[in-house]
Structure 1
Amino acid sequence: MIRTLTQADHEQVISFLTKEPSMNLFIIGDIEAFGYDQDFQQLWGEFDESGALQAVFLRFYDSYIPYASSRFDVEGFSHIIRTNGASFRLSGKANVVEQFEQVGGLSLGKKRVTYFCECTTVSFQAEEQMQIVKQATVDDVDRILDLRRRIPEFVTTPSSRDMLLKSLETSTGRTYYVEEDGEMVSCVSTTAENSFSAMVVGVCTDERYRQKGYASLIMKRVIHDYMQAGKTLCLFYDNPNAGRIYKRLGFYDIGMWTMYG
């Protein structure tokens, strides 16, 4: 049976999701930040005959994330997507979300498969140079966006500023950076921060300041701060070269993450 989840289900939901807290950091983060009673966010659960939770399905605006530890009612969750509108994005743990490919009449869009990895310990010596890494505040939002706009690989949207500002204001994300002559030249951000973990995003360095080790230096500061807080860091990658860099800093693969749309 699939039904809408409410605050009354919270303890059971969190117990279920924390079986794999890193894989579920987006769902956990959205629940902690916004709860169960929002227009832009809905949660459904699939229960067996004894009332045990079998699967959770999140809608955040037009994005959906399913999670299940075993078989689940993929047709039932697909019906929810159709009911809520034609335009959607779907993502999740690969062996869960890829089951939607078998559903007829569901246009998933372009598929992208990435490695999902996490870091749980500091595996390097602290460096004196880490002191040059600063943590951004809401006053730095426009500087962060200016840096990202200077980098061809990055795409900023009209909502980028609001999303970045909201993450800093609600402590659901952080940004760390290095500057030269008062100009921000490299930064690393996190998002979806919750009680257990956070996702690394937005690793970038101005082309004029590359090959100086700034991104790795910032990553070390990020890892240090999150490990001090007792939280796991997660990230996606699909570039083997990037993967090798992250693994030298203590990240290791825990699975695959698939995105559609």
Structure 2
Amino acid sequence: MIRKLTEKDHELIWSFLSNESSMNLFILGDIEAFGYDKDFQELWGEFDELNQLKAVLLRFHQSWIPYANGVFDVDGFISIIKEHTGDDQIMLSGKEEIVRALEERNVLNLGRKQVTYFAECKTTENLSSYDDKKLVKKATIEDVDRIIDIRSSIAEFNLLPSAREILIQSMKSNVGRTYYTEDNSIITASASTTAEYSKAAMIVGVCTRKEYRRRGLASNVMEVLFREVLDEGKTLCLFYDNPEAGSIYKRLGFVDIGKWIMYR
């Protein structure tokens, strides 16, 4: 049976998703930040014959994230997604094996596919000491347009039309923070968190403007950001698909815990 989830289900949902808390960072973070009664966020759960939760589906704006700890009602989840999106192209992401179960039905209008490694870090042991912290600044709402500008300059980034709105919402609701370096008011490197909640944070948007690369700027930004988040007792999570980037993250203490598929 699949039904809509509400605040009354909170303890059951939290316990279920916390079995893989890093993999479920987006769902857990959105629940902690926005609850169950926002028009841009909905959750559904599949229950077994003993009324035990076995799968969860999240809609956050136009994005969908499914999660299950075993076999789940793939067609039931697809029906919910199609009911809300029709034949429109959808944004779908999640743990590799769960997303593959949905995509194999070949009935959802999916966009560009990206398969990445999912890594986590729980310790500052591998971080070096970056002392000149005054050169790394924490962004405010006033810096949003400059952050979007540097991200737009990165060929590998595929910014959504709603990127600015999402960044502002992230800052206002304290589910994300951004640090950066600058030169003559131009942001030269930056890194952000998103989907932050009490236990974890996702690292996103690590970038350096092309003409400022190979100066260690992004490393300095990450050093300050990573240490701040880890010192708060949170686990750091990130995606990567570039082996060179992966080797850098592993030197900083990240460990692969699985793969993540994103359709955009």
What is the identity, as a one-letter code, of the residue corresponding to 2:26? Answer: F
Q: 1:151 aligns with which of 151, 154, 161?
A: 154
Q: 2:108 aligns with which of 95, 106, 109?
A: 106
Structure 1: how far apart are the matches of 2:105 and 2:231?
Answer: 44
Partner of residue 205, structure 1: 208
TM-score between the two structures when normalised by the length of structure 1: 0.94
Distance 1:73 1:179, change over 3 A: same
Structure 2: how far apart are the matches of 1:99 and 1:198?
Answer: 27
Q: 1:226 aligns with which of 220, 226, 229?
A: 229
Q: 1:102 Cα shift?
A: 3.1
Q: 1:155 Cα shift?
A: 4.3
Distance 1:198 1:205, change over 3 A: same
Structure 1: how far apart are the matches of 2:169 and 2:208?
Answer: 23
TM-score between the two structures when normalised by the length of structure 2: 0.93
Q: 1:34 Cα shift?
A: 1.6
Task: Name the stretch that deviates more: 34-43 or 18-27.
Answer: 34-43
% of aligned pairs identical? Answer: 54
Q: Does 1:117 align with 2:119?
A: yes
Distance 1:63 1:176, change over 3 A: same
Partner of residue 41, structure 1: 41
What is the 5 A alignment of 1:21-170? 21-85=21-85, 86-87=87-88, 88-122=90-124, 123-170=126-173
* Structure 1 unmatched ranges of 5 or more: none
SS at match of 2:51: coil
Structure 2: how far apart are the matches of 1:205 and 1:165?
Answer: 21
Q: 1:190 aligns with which of 190, 193, 213?
A: 193
Partner of residue 13, structure 1: 13
Distance 1:155 1:103, change over 3 A: closer
- CA RMSD, 1 decimal: 1.6
Q: 1:156 Cα shift?
A: 4.2
Structure 1: how far apart are the matches of 2:229 and 2:131?
Answer: 18
